[in-house]
Amino acid sequence: MITHFISTEINLAENTAQLQKSVEAELHKYGKPLRWAITAVDSEKGKVILEAVVTK
């Protein structure tokens, strides 16, 4: 098992359920997420900055 630190950006969702699905879908591109956090929100651009640890 190899762990990776990921920092990525996704579009801001209109509700929390949709946001969580978007986060999980984005992180699964890199591997299985162990933990993740929203570290910043850019409301002008409509983006959320994520940091995560994933395994492959």
- Each domain of the chain, given as residue ranges in start order, spans 3-55
Q: Which of 5, 1, 2 is nearest to 39 (CA)?
A: 5
Judged by DSSP in three states, 12 sits in coil
Question: CA gyration radius for the chain?
Answer: 11
d(CA 6, CA 56): 12
* The one-letter amino acid at 36: W
pLDDT on residue 2 = 95
CA distance 22 to 17: 9
pTM of structure: 0.83
| pLDDT value for 4 | 95
What integer pLDDT is reported at residue 13 of this predicted model? 81
Per-residue pLDDT of the chain (56 residues; tens, 9 = 90+): 899 999 999 999 888 889 999 999 999 999 999 999 999 999 999 999 999 999 99
